[in-house]
Structure 1
Amino acid sequence: MRTRKLYLGPLTDNRRWDMVTIRPDDVFVVSPPKCGTTWMQTIVALLLSGDPDIETELSVKMPWVDIRVREMAEVAERLEAMTHRRSMKSHTPMDGLPLDNSAMYLCVFRHPLDAHFSYRTHVRNIPMSWFDIWYPEDDPDGVTFRRFLDGGAEGFDGDAMPLAHILRHYTAAKAVADRPNVALFHYADMKRDLAGTFAKVADLLGISHSAAVMERLVQAATFDNMKQNADRYAPSGGKGFMKSDSDFFHSGTNGKWHGKLTGAELAAHDAMMDAHLSPEDRAWLEFGSDSENARA
């Protein structure tokens, strides 16, 4: 029997998965925060429904099982009562999740520095003050980036998403990527070819829609449409959880760190990336399938 790693932080607890009975056609969306999780969940919701106007209600219909703010018994009961094909979200690395041979796992990644700077914006938009320890609003000494580099992959640190946690996500997913039910996606590729991403996910899930329907589904999942309709597409959108649903979709751009880090900070980041990843893996984790052109 496969032994799962423990990921227990102030916000998440992967032991909660013990209360979920996995079904053969379940769809897991697995990624570090701010790497395209909500985007991939939306793509899955649109493909499963075939309806570009579907009310996704991701936090209820496609729940984040790891998060401790909801009673797990209630989440498990809601999942068990679902009669449609289910999808669930996790920010736990693959080595901490139940790995079923029939369920589908869609693992989404983004350049770690883009994810980090997006997370900086995100923590200012949510009512969880413990993030202030890692992400002080006034940070002239660069404490936030030092903690990004120094933090561990597990425990309290993990929920604050340091680089070590992102690297653990990637190496854990890569370790099982040879399975037919595990697929890796990159945010940059999704931006470059959203229609191609839809086609790939549809194929993995065994779903088929007409070309006209697919075109409408793709349009619904564009950044501009999701931001303009943030109360529908943001997690817990329209419920007042975040200060601004629209700001959850902040910019959707790459290269957020340009001009914001010192040479020493970039060198420290590069050293850590090179120490843990091969040149090929680093290139993919940063830039996706178009890594050569992106580095140029």
Structure 2
Amino acid sequence: MALKSGHRIVPLVFEEAVRQYKQFHGYQTGTIRLEPDGWFFTTPFITFADKYYDFKFKPNDVVIVTYPKCGTTWTQEIVWTMVHNPNLNNPKASLPVMIRSPFLELDFLIYSSPIDPTMPGTFLHDTFAQAHPNRNPKDGIFLQLAELTEDPRIIKTHLPFSLLSPSLLETCKVIYVARDPKDVAVSYCHHSRLIKIHGFEGPTSDFVDHFVNDTFWPHLKEGWNRRKHPNIHYCFYEDMKANPKEETLRIHKFLDLNLTESQLNNIVHYTSFQEMSKREQDNLMGSDTRSMWNEEVFNKDGGFFRKGVTGDYKNKLSEEDIQKINEWTKENTRDLDDEFKYKIK
């Protein structure tokens, strides 16, 4: 079976499928890869794939594209606040970020999981049904939220460019955020343990094995190879952490906004890790979010906003896992320019 993107749907080979099934308890619906690139998804992605590819972007959209755990939610909050809440007085700021700035493909992930926060009676379902009574939540709450959210739309996706509309960059602005793969591995491992959509159970070294067989590098390269297009802003998480004011100014310039110095300073403070972590419980998808979390992991290792630092991999990964990721990085960055931050020569 071929998708509109030109990819073929291929079930995982037996050994990999069994391992995914045993260690990721949220992946019980089955798993696939899309060839020739090897993109990995749970099988409900098939239902939505062509809808994502056909999604109609608008000229004033801002689309935030990242591999998971690269500062996506942080960037969403920065951009949405710049565009819709520069004076920090917009009452909609109290709504979960996933409603203000929809996660385009979250529906297929939710449908993969035994924990479904979009059922009737939940915050997400009832909020959507009340706001859009003529829409069917079963057609994908987040896909429809992305379509219906107020202009200018701030939309998040972890999909690579090759699975999105080929006219994306010709239509609107895109912010791509990259992060050191060793820190991504640590953050993604915690995330996959915390969120029942993934439900990972196993040692960190096993997660690293999964990670280095995933499509981190093709994802980053698809963004990097488009970085000179005038409608893309390619940035690095480490730069955002080292100097949030400077990186906020760069985003401000890219979006061609006209905010004051005072507004920008207030936005930098409002979107700091400390301030966002205070708003964590309701910041993602509303009061139903905690039902999707593993409380044991939350109490032991922290929630969605765990540390927000760089270099934490030194405290979390074994020397063997660090070496494994470094060798993988060296092999996959040979063809990249020296200016690429994570290149290992």
Q: Common fold, TM-score beyond 0.5?
A: yes
Match of 1:82 among 128, 137, 149: 149
Q: Give, in whole Å, the separation in 1 of the partners of 2:321 and 2:77.
A: 35
**Rounded Cα–Cα distance in structure 2 between residues aligned with 1:114 and 1:172:** 20
Paired residue secondary structure (1:248): coil
Equivalent in the alignment of 1:95: 162
Change (3 A) 1:46 1:66: same
Aligned residues: 268
Cα displacement (A) at 1:231: 2.8
Q: In the alignment, does 2:301 pair up with 1:238?
A: no
Instruction: Work out the CA distance in 1 between the residues paired with 2:337 and 2:173.
Output: 23
**1:21 counterpart (44, 51, 56):** 56
**Counterpart residue number, 1:9:** 41
1:104 aligns with one of 173, 178, 185: 173
TM-score calculated relative to the size of structure 1: 0.79
From 179, 182, 186, the counterpart of 1:117: 186
- In the TM superposition, what whole-angstrom CA distance separates every residue of 1:193-237 from its partner, at most 9, and x where no partner exists? 11112111111112111111111111101111111221343x214
3-state SS, counterpart of residue 46 of structure 1:
helix
> CA shift at 1:88, angstroms?
0.8
| Equivalent position SS for 2:175 | strand
1:256 to 292, 309, 312: 312
Alignment partner of 1:206 is 2:256: yes
| Distance in 2 of aligned mates of 1:195 and 1:259 | 28
Structure whose alpha-carbon radius of gyration is higher: 2
| Cα separation, 1, equivalents of 2:41 and 2:206 | 20
The counterpart of 2:269, out of the listed 201, 210, 219, is 219
User: What SS does the aligned partner of 1:65 have?
Assistant: coil
> Distance in 2 between the 1:281 and 1:121 partners?
31
Instruction: Find 1:57's aligned residue among 96, 102, 112.
Output: 96
Partner of residue 171, structure 1:
221
Task: Please tell me whether the aligned partners of residues 19 and 72 of structure 1 are also in contact (alpha carbons under 8 angstroms).
Answer: no
In structure 2, how many angstroms separate the alpha carbons of the residues matched to 1:8 and 1:14?
12
CA RMSD of aligned residues (A): 2.9
Alignment gaps of 5+ in structure 1: 152-161, 292-296
Give secondary structure in 1 for the equivalent of 2:63: strand
Q: Does 1:144 align with 2:201?
A: no
Per-residue deviation, 1:283: 7.0
Q: Please tell me the residue identity of whatever aligns with 2:153.
A: R
Identity rate, percent: 19
Q: Would you say the 8 A contact 1:109–1:285 is kept in 2?
A: no
CA contact (8 A) 1:108 1:186 kept: yes
Checking the alignment, whether the CA contact within 8 Å between 2:103 and 2:157 is kept in structure 1 is yes
- 1:155 matched residue in structure 2: none
2:311 is the alignment partner of 1:275: no
Asked if the contact 2:64–2:76 (Cα under 8 Å) also holds between the matched residues in 1, the reply is yes
Letter of the 1:81 counterpart: L
Gaps (5+ residues) in structure 2? 8-33, 111-117, 119-137
Contact in 1 for aligned 2:61/2:151 (Cα 8 Å): no
Structure 1 residue 32 and structure 2 residue 32: aligned? Answer: no
Question: CA contact under 8 A between 1:173 and 1:184: conserved in structure 2?
Answer: yes
* Alpha carbons 1:19, 1:76 under 8 Å: kept: no
Give 1:75 deviation, angstroms. 3.8
Offset of 1:131 from its aligned partner? 3.9
